[in-house]
Amino acid sequence: QKLKVDLGEAVEQGGLHVVYQPMYKPNGTRIECCEALVRWVHPERGSIPPNVFIQIAEEMGIVSEITRFVLQQACADCASWPGDIGVSVNLSVQDLRNENILDVVSDALGEAGLPASRLHLEVTEGSLLAEMGVARSILTHLRSRGVTIAIDDFGTGFSSLSYLDNLPVDVIKIDRSFVRNISEEARGFRLLRGIVHLSRELDLRIVVEGVETEEQLMLLNKYQCADLIQGYVFSVPLPSKSLLGLMEALA
């Protein structure tokens, strides 16, 4: 309960910050986009994981304020990056319930002077299932304005695959659980290759998340499983300023 009070204060008083994890071309020669990840360092308890405090914020009904902050920060930071590197922001299930999000996105883009084509939004399978009707309308609007829509944690939401044909989606981010134990023969990797095949048939771009080792990267590349790779093998999430040098070299 104290954590709730503290979170409310942090949200109001600038106690959150945002770090970014790059998504690379599979050969590592280019950064295309960076995922914005919110952070909260509690004054006494130290770093609180976002899945913990996002859930608390959802219970408190203040997650939209966190989304607004992350969108503003992410658009402003992205506008300072070289080339046309994009930024990808996570939406929570509650953001897909309310058409206010359309104005929040427009305002963040407008204030930063960032073209919509550089903004990506990530929604989980679970939140789409929970909010199918409104979510579809919201995502359709955003996409018609030029924002890219990605399905996050793909393959973990127990969803019917038919929804892929029905939703305005451009990118799927294959969940890191498919990568953890990959080897050529593993069923999990065969499943991943199947998802990749299906996604290509539907003209979806594929991001593979949670790639940690060179071995995983080599195997994914051998079967051309990814359009973009995100994971510790290339970079951990970092502050925008720390990424600038790397971006200048790879943009």
Residue ranges binding ligand G (CB under 6 A):
21, 37-38, 49-51, 54, 70, 90, 92, 152-153, 176, 209-212, 231-232, 237
- Binder to Na ion among 153, 207, 217, 250 (CB under 5 A)? 153
Residue 122 found at the interface with Na ion (CB under 5 A) = no
Q: What is the DSSP letter of 167?
A: S
CB atoms within 10 A of CB 200: 13
- Angle of helix 63-79 relative to helix 2-12, nearest 10 degrees? 40
Number of residues in contact with Na ion, rule: CB under 5 A?
3
- Residue with Cβ nearer ligand G (118 or 201): 118
Distance in Å, CB of 250 to Mn ion, minimum: 21
Distance in Å, CB of 165 to Na ion, minimum: 22
* Three-state DSSP state, 139: helix
- The contacts of residue 87 (CB under 8 Å, 6+ apart) are 20, 33, 34, 35, 36, 74, 75, 77, 78, 81, 118, 119, 120
Distance in Å, CB of 207 to ligand G, minimum: 9
Beta strands in 45-139 (DSSP E): 46-48, 86-90, 119-124
Distance in Å, CB of 199 to ligand G, minimum: 17
- Residue with Cβ nearer ligand G (27 or 51): 51
Footprint of Na ion (CB under 5 A)? 152-153, 209
